[in-house]
Amino acid sequence: MENYDFKSIEQKWQERWEKSSAHKAKDNPGKEKFYCLDFFPYPSGEGLHVGHWRGYVLSDIMARFYKLHGKNILHPMGYDAFGLPAENAAIKANSHPQIFTEKAIKRFRKQLRQIGAMYDWDREINSSDPKYYQWTQWLFLKLYEAGLAFRQKAPVNWCPTCQTVLANEQVVAGECERCGAKTIKKELTQWFLRITKYAERLLENLNKLDWPERTKILQRNWIGKSDGAIVKFKIRMPEGNSQFSIQVFTTRPDTLFGATFMVLAPEHPIIQQITTPENIDAVQKYIEKTRQESELFRETVEREKTGVFTGAYAINPINNSRIPIWIADYVLIHYGSGACMCVPGHDRRDFEFAKKFKLPIVQVISPDGKSNDRILPYIEPGVNLNSGHYDGLKSNDAKRKITEDLKKQDLADFATKYRLRDWLISRQRYWGAPIPIVYCQKHGEVPVPEKELPVLLPEDVEFKPKGESPLNQSKKFLNTTCPKCGGKATRETDTMDTFVDSSWYFLRFTDPKNNQEFASDKAINAWMPVDLYVGGIEHATMHLLYARFVSLALSDFKIVNFDKSGEPFKKLFNIGLIYLHGAKMSKSRGNVVNPDELVSKYGADALRGYEMFVGPADQDSEWQVSGIAGIYRFLEKIWRFFEDFRPQSKTSAKNAVIINQTIKKVTNDISNFQLNTAIASLMTLFNKMNSEISRDDAKKIIILFSPIFPHLAEEIWSSFAKASEDKQYQRSIFSQSWPKYERSMVKESKINLAIQINGKLRDIIQVNASLAKSEIEKQAQTPKIMKHLSNKKILKTIYVAGKIVNYVLK
């Protein structure tokens, strides 16, 4: 008997797949397509660890599973290769980022091939390749033409160590995400993309996407829509009325009678005009101090409140009371109007501020309309009190009425605000796509004509950061001529945020070699949208929002029209993280497990299996060092089973039942991304069945495990060729069809399921006992239940297996 020689088996099949172009994706309008995409990786110098493998294995299993369902597969791979780490590594090693990047890509490619994934390597892309970034620049020009790319002076987060501007998201707790240095604010003219124009659509469309709820919530919060009102406060200086007024944005106009002071953001332009002479010094000092603070710090709720009085007062339009105007860092200049009416009775931050600076606190809302100052700050809705003729109204009604009444006097209006900001894309760094703009003395800012793209990165620069873009040092790059008049001009020297590169790469994969267009209509229409996108939750906001924005914009420009919504990712799956010894696996924590060693000891199939068996794919899971050995033994068992296999004319009745049950279970599980239980069912199958099996049933079993263990499956499949005349065994197993189970063999047991809302029984339904949790939760949303759920926010869904679904509402 031969041993399970995974090394030669895996090598043999990987070579065969490659030689026969088995994974080449061809447009085939006759077949239903399945575009299966991984978040394309940043090729770091460290290579892949087993945590990275997890998503790649899952997506490959899905691609193979749907191939066996007769779909036409596109499963590409590429590299998000521009960016700071390559540049920093090059500075350290005194080499060039391109050299670093090429080396890293080589290593990645080798590691990625080991997975045995059905990547179509002919479509590989690299975002730092001029053939790619030419189209990133082209995308910029399209956005520019449409007024969606613009330059503006703005305070930016500045990292004094990396000497560059950082996006808000790259500042973590006031520190640079990359190097940990404290960041500061600086005013610079920067390039932005106008993503805020798409805020409402980005929000609306979320409802239609088949994405994890958790990710949708993160995007909703990031976009941060608030309905409320703009209220106008006149200003009263100590010497009398002034011509100035200040607008505030509030989500709670119902609390207007409780507004006892106003706070301005330290950057508010009116401060200079209203601050009284005796307060100027203190105000100036305070403004200076805030300049050192990061936005995230300023938004932190749990910290001692600070602030300073301007000496000026505002008139509350609802009751003409005079309220002091303060300045404090917890009010942000870029939200609302940078000014806030403060209601300490009903807002936590205002409450702390009032306590600290001994400002009056007035209760204007309570649960029953009766005063009770022990509950302050009371932030829930309720019934109005101390609110003139609005007393006794439900606060939600008062909100509308007060706004309407002030609107009649031109003192307020309904307003909606979003937290989302425009996307700052300029970087004063070398290793990125140059922004294709030139500055002419006569014509100002002029876009580089499309036919002159790409604007190539110059090579004659030193990219050690000096506070300005390294591209400034290359005179050859810098000095150019104006495309309009041919006169002297200089080039923009900032490069683009790498998130611009990754905002459209999924389109390039449909037509990666096209040098006439960024991708042809035909190719885009053949493959878009992405049917399954697999990646970590860390991309919930930035990448996934930017990519949606770009796709919607291109759709509006009629450059793409693959579907009405323009949404690029139909289904998203967030793969859970791998932990080791209780901490997220990462090189910096020193707890990485190297997949290369495991592949050489146990094989790629065993590693693929363990990556899935380690826990539910959407949940974080702890890596057990010995876990892979168990999967390896299972593969040996499969190997031996088929080594000894002699087909019977008929499968025994007992075997038939378990085979059909397993087909059903594995089909369901893989469809629902429950790979750990799919593998467990396969293990049970091999434990329970004996060798009394027909060739036909054996065939079904091999196909059943082939998406997870493709090398082993191909090998066993081809071994059937020796014993059978049938030509099918000479072809790849992935040209077969997924097996169907016989209904008569699979009895469904039904269970009664109680559906509760906040612990109260609201409905009972009958469901199949074997259904997956996600499917049960879907079925639990009966019309009766939906009536209770409409317009309510579900905080949590609790599922007690086989018994209860309980919706916890706000």
Q: Which is nearer to ligand ANZ, 346 or 491 (CB)?
A: 346
Helix (H) or strand (E) holding 762: strand 760-768
Q: Which of 48, 340, 448, 453 binds ligand ANZ (CB under 6 A)?
A: 340
Task: Check residue 329 and report its DSSP letter.
Answer: T
Using CA atoms of 382, 384, 386, 390 in order, give the dihedral in degrees to the nearest 10.
Answer: 170
Q: Which is nearer to ligand ANZ, 252 or 570 (CB)?
A: 252
Q: Which is nearer to ligand ANZ, 259 or 604 (CB)?
A: 259
Q: Which is nearer to ligand ANZ, 316 or 661 (CB)?
A: 316
Cα→Cα distances 797→551, 623, 808, Å: 32, 28, 6
Closest separation between CB of residue 796 and ligand ANZ, Å?
A: 22
Closest separation between CB of residue 361 and ligand ANZ, Å?
A: 12
* Residue 336 in contact with ligand ANZ, rule: CB under 6 A: yes
Of 315, 302, 180, 176, give the one whose Cα is nearest residue 245: 315
CA-to-CA distance for 595 and 353, rounded, in angstroms? 54
* Residue 343 in contact with ligand ANZ, rule: CB under 6 A: yes
Evaluate whether 614 touches 598 at the Cβ level (below 8 Å). no
Q: How many C-beta neighbours within 10 Å does residue 803 have?
A: 11
Site for ligand ANZ in 255-314 (CB under 6 A): 255, 265
Closest separation between CB of residue 341 and ligand ANZ, Å?
A: 5
Q: Which is nearer to ligand ANZ, 362 or 698 (CB)?
A: 362
Closest separation between CB of residue 355 and ligand ANZ, Å?
A: 15
Closest separation between CB of residue 399 and ligand ANZ, Å?
A: 10
Task: Check residue 623 and report its DSSP letter.
Answer: P
Closest separation between CB of residue 332 and ligand ANZ, Å?
A: 4
* Residue 537 in contact with ligand ANZ, rule: CB under 6 A: no
The pattern of x and - marking residues 347 through 376 that bind ligand ANZ according to CB under 6 A reads x-----------------------------
Phi, psi of 73 (to 5 degrees): -105, 135
Q: Which is nearer to ligand ANZ, 336 or 535 (CB)?
A: 336
Q: Which of 98, 196, 226, 586 binds ligand ANZ (CB under 6 A)?
A: 226
Site for ligand ANZ in 383-422 (CB under 6 A): 417
Piece of the chain touching ligand ANZ by CB under 6 A; list 66-74, 246-254, 278-286, 775-783: 246-254
Evaluate whether 199 touches 419 at the Cβ level (below 8 Å). no
Q: Which of 251, 490, 684, 770 binds ligand ANZ (CB under 6 A)?
A: 251
Piece of the chain touching ligand ANZ by CB under 6 A; list 268-276, 334-342, 562-570, 775-783: 334-342
**SS3 category, 796:** strand
Q: Which is nearer to ligand ANZ, 249 or 738 (CB)?
A: 249
Piece of the chain touching ligand ANZ by CB under 6 A; list 331-339, 426-434, 550-558, 614-622: 331-339
Evaluate whether 35 touches 531 at the Cβ level (below 8 Å). yes
Q: Which is nearer to ligand ANZ, 346 or 608 (CB)?
A: 346
Closest separation between CB of residue 204 and ligand ANZ, Å?
A: 18
Query: What is the distance of C-alpha 624 from the center of its chain?
Result: 28
Q: Which is nearer to ligand ANZ, 301 or 786 (CB)?
A: 301
Q: Which of 101, 111, 250, 310 binds ligand ANZ (CB under 6 A)?
A: 250
Do the bridges between strand 804-809 and strand 572-574 make them parallel or antiparallel, or are there none, so unpaired?
A: unpaired
* Residue 346 in contact with ligand ANZ, rule: CB under 6 A: yes
The per-residue b/e assignment along 766-792, b for 16 or more CB within 10 angstroms, e otherwise, is ebeeebbeeebeeebbeeebeeeeeee
Q: Which is nearer to ligand ANZ, 78 or 377 (CB)?
A: 377
Q: How far apart are the first and last CA of the chain?
A: 63
Using CA atoms of 132, 138, 144, 148 in order, give the dihedral in degrees to the nearest 10.
Answer: -50
Closest separation between CB of residue 343 and ligand ANZ, Å?
A: 4
Piece of the chain touching ligand ANZ by CB under 6 A; list 332-340, 441-449, 653-661, 782-790: 332-340
Q: Which is nearer to ligand ANZ, 210 or 227 (CB)?
A: 227
CA-to-CA distance for 614 and 608, rounded, in angstroms? 10
Closest separation between CB of residue 742 and ligand ANZ, Å?
A: 57
Q: Which is nearer to ligand ANZ, 318 or 670 (CB)?
A: 318
Q: Which is nearer to ligand ANZ, 332 or 772 (CB)?
A: 332
Q: Which of 61, 323, 341, 698 binds ligand ANZ (CB under 6 A)?
A: 341
Q: Which of 23, 252, 665, 695 binds ligand ANZ (CB under 6 A)?
A: 252
Q: Which is nearer to ligand ANZ, 230 or 461 (CB)?
A: 230
The per-residue b/e assignment along 203-234, b for 16 or more CB within 10 angstroms, e otherwise, is beebeebebbeebbebbeebbeeeebbbbbbb
Residue count, binding to ligand ANZ (CB under 6 A): 18
Closest separation between CB of residue 256 and ligand ANZ, Å?
A: 8
Piece of the chain touching ligand ANZ by CB under 6 A; list 194-202, 245-253, 426-434, 742-750: 245-253
Of 740, 667, 717, 738, give the one whose Cα is nearest residue 68: 738
* Residue 196 in contact with ligand ANZ, rule: CB under 6 A: no
Beta strands in 194-307 (DSSP E): 225-237, 240-250, 261-264
Instruction: Determine what percent of the chain falls in helix, strand and coil, rounding each to the nearest 5.
Output: 40, 20, 40
Q: Which of 218, 332, 754, 767 binds ligand ANZ (CB under 6 A)?
A: 332
Closest separation between CB of residue 251 and ligand ANZ, Å?
A: 4
Beta strands in 441-515 (DSSP E): 444-447, 479-481, 488-491, 495-496
Closest separation between CB of residue 317 and ligand ANZ, Å?
A: 13
CA-to-CA distance for 782 and 767, rounded, in angstroms? 12
- CA angle at residue 308 from 307 to 310, to 5 degrees? 140
**SS3 category, 385:** coil
CA-to-CA distance for 257 and 405, rounded, in angstroms? 14
Evaluate whether 446 touches 436 at the Cβ level (below 8 Å). no
Q: Which positions lie near ligand ANZ, rule CB under 6 A?
A: 226, 249-252, 255, 265, 331-332, 335-336, 338, 340-341, 343, 346-347, 417
